[in-house]
A and B are shown apart, each in its own frame.
Chain A
Amino acid sequence: MSTPTVSTSPEPASPTEPPPSRLRPRDVARVGGAGLRTRPLRVFLSALGIAIGIAAMISVVGISSSSRADLDRRLAALGTNLLTVAPGNTLAGGTATLPAESVAMIRRIGPVEQVTATGTVPDAKVYRSDRIPAEESGGLAVLASSLDLPRAVRATLADGAWLNAATARYPAVVLGSTAARRLGIGAAGPDVQVYLGGRWFTVVGLLAPVALAPELDSAALVGWSAATAHLGFDGHPTTVYTRTKDSAVEAVQAVLAATANPQAPNEVKVSRPSDALAARQATDRAFTGLLLGLGAVALLVGGVGVANTMVISVLERRAEIGLRRSLGATRRHILLQFLAESLLLSALGGAGGVVVGIGVTTVYAATQSWEAVVPAWATAGGMGATLLIGVVAGLYPAIRAARLSPTTALATA
């Protein structure tokens, strides 16, 4: 029989210190992963909770960034140097008018590169034919238009041609995109006519939607001279479009009102349409915040799912915990094992969620023909939030596992 190492005698034998228990960091990961591999369905379901939350947040951020990036690109293409001048209200509350010579005066401002104008023809309405009742005007405006309008507002033609010096004198009309749709006109041509202001006008062209001047979409545009000759147009412009040197937009904006109507600058409204587009984007941002909040709630619920899975896992694996303690695991090793398991579980969900989120963004951006943009901070933030959730959700179960006394753990097996 070998020397008994268990002694109940009071005098201590010379204590030989065994080296401390040690668990290599790689083994921590390995042990944590082993716990997951044996229960794939449960791991999948609880990781799914996290994945849904992360995917929701990533795709919300991705879609709104993609749309913003697209707008930025569009604004860069359209230019942010378009300023419009329109009559406001008189002090008495009536509708003001711009002087007929305002276009010429604005053209004299140094940094202004282009000036063009449209004028509302107040009493003219446009109809598909003379059989349409007068009140069914479809909300379409008839505008007298300068010939250089498309260049200034970057309008392009969907069909036909723009007015020229000849057609501007005759009953010829170019329809905005909405106006064309409402009138049921799909193509321009010499035999396509609309009934405008009590006589037939030939549709010579159709405009594509104009991003910076959406008011043109629902308008029927006729030549300045034709409007004066046939429609009783008074010659006062109602919107003056100017293109300015990019560096001088603010300076020009400041003097436009006084230049357009020196007698009553307060009766002039000056605006910058690109600002309006940017402002619409800002209201979208509030909506994005709301969706992001919903994603965060989903993520939180996912975290609760992970915590639940970990609690159950600890309960089920008491025997394993007891065995590991008998193999020399310290409390810390047990704690680390379950923390690692929880971290891996949520990291799995987080990675899946990032992939799904990027996929959703890509597909959605493709349907909108945008370029998909998922900011790196969103991906990093999503993974960070995931890891945080993994630690928080795993901490309590892991502490419970570590506190379990080895004998109770083994006894419940």
Chain B
Amino acid sequence: MLAIVGPSGSGKSTMLHLIGTLDRPSAGTVRVEGHDVARLSDRRLSALRAHRIGFVFQQFHLAPGRTAVDNVADGLLYTGAPVRERRDRAAETLVRVGLGDRLGHLPHEMSGGERQRVAIARAVVGEPALLLADEPTGSLDSASGAGVMELLRDLHSAGTSVVVITHDRDIAAGLPRQVAMRDGEVVR
């Protein structure tokens, strides 16, 4: 479990996009599971994202008119799993993140902390090896934020590598390893 910490504009989001294969490096090499990201085709990068990497965003990015289960099931949409299996696994994952009683709720019926848990469930429903969280607590009050961090720690202890991007030094300090960034450079 790793924190990438730095003030805004320090390049930490770019770092996350590079790790998550959403962007390709203009110089240097990024390897994910031994694959050189710069040389992979769009199809193979997408395959990596579909099966190996989960994303959590500050703004949750939940589809507004769809239930928690459907939102989480979308995490498996591009694996080609049939809709039944997607929904079953989505329900299981929601139970795992502590939202077993919110399966049929729409995003606007849930609190910010619950929404972020739904987003996390969507990111981990495919059991990725790597979970990338971009300011996961940025839109939450501190109590909900603490709950979300607790959940990420639990996922980590269950075997997922977790990278948290934050500008909040307190949150970073709570994680076992920190990478500090400033002006696009890793400083520590």
Query: Could you tell me which A residues sit within 8 Å of B by CB distance?
Result: 1-10, 12-24, 26-27, 30-31, 34, 37-38, 319-320, 322-333, 405-407, 410, 413
Contacts and interface: CB of A to CB of B under 8 A. Distances in A.
A15 to B, nearest CB: 4
B80 A23 contact: yes
B43 interface: yes
Q: Which 6 residue pairs are nearest across A and B when measured between Cβ atoms?
A: A328-B50, A22-B80, A13-B34, A328-B78, A18-B51, A406-B22
28 contacts: A5-B52, A6-B161, A6-B163, A8-B30, A8-B31, A13-B33, A16-B33, A18-B48, A19-B51, A20-B43, A20-B44, A23-B80, A34-B65, A34-B66, A37-B65, A38-B64, A38-B65, A322-B22, A327-B75, A329-B77, A329-B78, A330-B42, A330-B78, A331-B42, A333-B78, A405-B23, A407-B22, A413-B59
A119 B50 CA distance: 93
A328 B51 contact: yes
Contacts of A5: 32-33, 52, 129-130, 161
Contacts of B182: none
B46 A21 contact: yes
A39 to B, nearest CB: 10
A243 to B, nearest CB: 71
A269 B24 CA distance: 88
Given A5-B32, A20-B46, 17 more contacts: A1-B1, A2-B160, A4-B2, A5-B129, A6-B19, A6-B163, A21-B79, A23-B80, A34-B65, A319-B59, A320-B63, A327-B77, A328-B79, A332-B43, A406-B22, A410-B22, A413-B61
A26 B80 CA distance: 10
Nearest to A38: B65
Contact of A12 (B36, B159, B160): B36
Nearest to A323: B61
A63 to B, nearest CB: 41
Nearest to A4: B161
Given A5-B130, A7-B34, A406-B22, A21 B43 contact: yes
A330 B80 contact: no
Nearest to B66: A34
B49 interface: yes
A330 B43 contact: yes
A407 B31 contact: no
Contacts of A8: 29-31
B23 A10 contact: no
Contacts of B59: 319, 413
- Interface centre among B50, B80, B159, by most A CB within 10 Å? B50
Nearest to B176: A1
Contacts of A17: 44, 47
The B interface is mostly helix, strand or loop, or mixed, namely mixed
Contact of A319 (B42, B47, B61, B74): B61
Contacts of B176: 1
Most buried by A among B61, B159, B160, B163: B61
Contacts of A328: 46-51, 77-79
B169 interface: no
B143 to A, nearest CB: 25
Contact of B22 (A6, A21, A325): A325
B50 A18 contact: yes
Nearest to B160: A2
Contacts of A30: 83
B177 interface: yes
A66 B51 CA distance: 59
Contact of A15 (B35, B47, B51, B61): B35
A407 B83 CA distance: 28
A2 B161 contact: yes
Nearest to A328: B50
Interface in B70-85: 74-75, 77-80, 82-83
Contacts of B31: 6-9, 12-13
Contacts of B82: 24
B22 A22 contact: no
B78 A6 contact: no
Contacts of A332: 43
A240 B182 CA distance: 108
A38 B66 CA distance: 10
Contacts of B19: 6
Pick the most buried of A6, A20, A328, A329: most chain B CB atoms within 10 A of its CB: A328
